[in-house]
Chain A
Amino acid sequence: MEQRSLAPIEILLVEDNPDDVALTVRSFKKARMQNRISVAEDGVEGLAFLRREGKYADAPRPDIILLDLNLPRMNGHELLEIIKTDPALKDIPVIILTTSKSEEDVLSTYKLHSNCFITKPVLMEDFDRVIRTIQDFWFVVVKLPSSK
Chain B
Amino acid sequence: MGFLRNKSLSVKLTALITAVTTAGIIAGFAAVTFIDARNFRGDLAADAALSARLAAGYCVAPLVFGYAEEAAQALEKLSLFDDINYVAVYDQEGRLFARYRREGSQGEPPALLADPGLASGFRAGIFEAREPVIYDGKRFGTISLAVSTGSLSRKIAGRAGLLALLAALMAAAALLVALRAQRVVSEPILSLADMERGVALRGDYSVRSGISRDDEIGALAAGFDALLESLGARSRERDAAEEALRQAHTEMEGKVRERTAELRLANKELEAFTYSASHDLRAPLRRIDGFSSLLEEDCAAQLSEEGREHLGRIRAGCRQMAQVIDSLLRLSRVMRQELDMKELDLSALAEEIFAGLRETEPLRKVQFTAAGGLTAVGDRVLLGEVLENLLSNAWKFTGKTAAPVIEFGASEKDGERIYFVRDNGKGFDMKYAGKLFRPFQRLHSPAEFPGTGIGLTTVQRIIERHGGRIWVEGEEDRGAVFYFTLHGRENGGSQAHKEQGYDGQTA
Spell out A's residues near B (CB within 8 Å). Answer: 17, 19-20, 22-23, 26, 99-103, 120-125, 127
Chain B residues near A101 (CB, 8 Å)? 279, 329
Mark B319-331 against chain A: 1 for CB-CB distance below 8 A, else 0: 1001001100100
B286, A23: Cβ atoms closer than 8 Å: yes
Contact with A along B351-365 (1 / 0, CB 8 A): 000000000000000
Chain B min CB distance to A104 (Å): 11
Contacting pair B322 A26 (CB below 8 A): no
Expressed in whole angstroms, the minimum distance between the Cβ of B277 and any Cβ of chain A is 13
Report yes or no: B283 in contact with A99, Cβ–Cβ below 8 A: yes
Residues of A within 8 A of B325 (CB): 122
B residues adjacent to A (C-beta < 8 A): 279, 282-283, 285-287, 289-294, 318-319, 322, 325-326, 329, 333
Tell me whether B286 and A125 are in contact (CB under 8 A): no
The answer to whether B290 touches A100 (Cβ under 8 A) is no
| Residue pair B291, A122 in contact (C-beta under 8 Å) | no
Q: Which of B282, B289, B291 contacts A99 (CB 8 A)?
A: B282
Q: Is the CB of A123 within 8 A of B319?
A: yes
Which residue of the partner chain, among B289, B294, B333, contacts A122 with CB atoms under 8 Å?
A: B289
Q: Give CA–CA (A127, B290) in the complex, Å.
A: 9
Taking a contact as CB atoms under 8 Å apart, the answer to whether B286 and A99 are in contact is yes
User: With A and B bound together, what is the CA distance between A22 and B333 in angstroms?
Assistant: 31
Smallest Cβ-Cβ distance to B326: which chain A residue: A122
Residue ID in chain A nearest B332 by CB atoms: A101
* Cβ contacts under 8 Å, B290 to chain A: 19, 22-23, 26, 124, 127
Can you pick out 28 interface pairs between chain A and chain B where the beta carbons lie within 8 Å of each other?
A19-B290, A19-B291, A20-B287, A23-B286, A23-B290, A23-B294, A26-B290, A99-B279, A99-B282, A99-B283, A99-B286, A102-B279, A120-B286, A121-B286, A121-B322, A122-B282, A122-B289, A122-B322, A122-B325, A123-B286, A123-B289, A123-B319, A123-B322, A124-B289, A124-B292, A124-B293, A127-B286, A127-B290
Complex CA–CA separation, A17 to B282 (angstroms): 14
List of B residues within 8 angstroms of A127 by Cβ = 286, 290
Q: Which single residue of chain A is at the shortest CB-CB distance from B298?
A: A26
Q: Which of A23, A102, A121, A123 has the most CB of B within 10 A?
A: A123
Whether A125 pairs with B279 at a CB distance below 8 angstroms is no
CA distance A115 to B279 in the complex (A): 23
Asked whether, in the complex, the Cβ of A122 is within 8 Å of the Cβ of B286, the reply is yes
Give Cα A125 to B294, complex, Å: 11
A117 nearest CB across to chain B (Å) = 15
Chain A residues positioned under 8 Å from B319 (CB to CB): 123
Contact of B318 among A19, A26, A122 (CB under 8 A): A122
| Whole-angstrom CA separation of A23 from B319 in the bound complex | 17
Given A22-B294, A99-B286, 11 additional A-B pairs, CB 8 A: A17-B283, A19-B287, A19-B290, A19-B291, A23-B294, A99-B282, A100-B279, A103-B333, A122-B318, A124-B292, A127-B290
Q: How far is the CB of B321 from chain A (nearest CB, A)?
A: 8
Q: Min CB distance, B328 to chain A, in Å?
A: 11
Q: Separation in Å of the B452 CB from the closest CB of chain A?
A: 14
Closest-CB distance, A14 to chain B (whole angstroms): 17
Residues of A within 8 A of B282 (CB): 99, 122
Contact, CB under 8 Å: A122 / B285: yes
Contacts of B326 on A, CB cut-off 8 Å?
122
Complex CA–CA separation, A102 to B332 (angstroms): 11
Q: How far is the CA of A20 from the CA of B319 in the complex (A)?
A: 18
Given contacts A101-B329, A122-B318, A123-B319, contact A26 B294 (CB under 8 A): yes
* Closest partner residue, chain B, to A26 (CB atom): B294
Which A residues touch B318, using CB under 8 A? 122-123
Chain B contacts of A23 at CB under 8 A?
286-287, 290-291, 294
Indicate if the CB atoms of A125 and B293 lie closer than 8 Å. yes
Question: B319: nearest residue on chain A (CB-CB)?
Answer: A123
Q: Which residues of the partner chain A approach B291 to less than 8 Å between Cβ atoms?
A: 19, 23
Q: Within 8 Å CB of B333, what residues of A?
A: 103
| Least CB distance, B205 to chain A, in whole angstroms | 63
Note all chain A residues with C-beta closer than 8 A to B283.
17, 99
Which A residues touch B292, using CB under 8 A? 124
Q: Which residues of B contact A103 (CB under 8 A)?
A: 333
Nearest Cβ on chain A to B385's Cβ, whole angstroms: 15
Give Cα A122 to B322, complex, Å: 6
Q: Which 4 A-B pairs have the closest CB atoms?
A: A124-B293, A122-B322, A23-B290, A124-B290
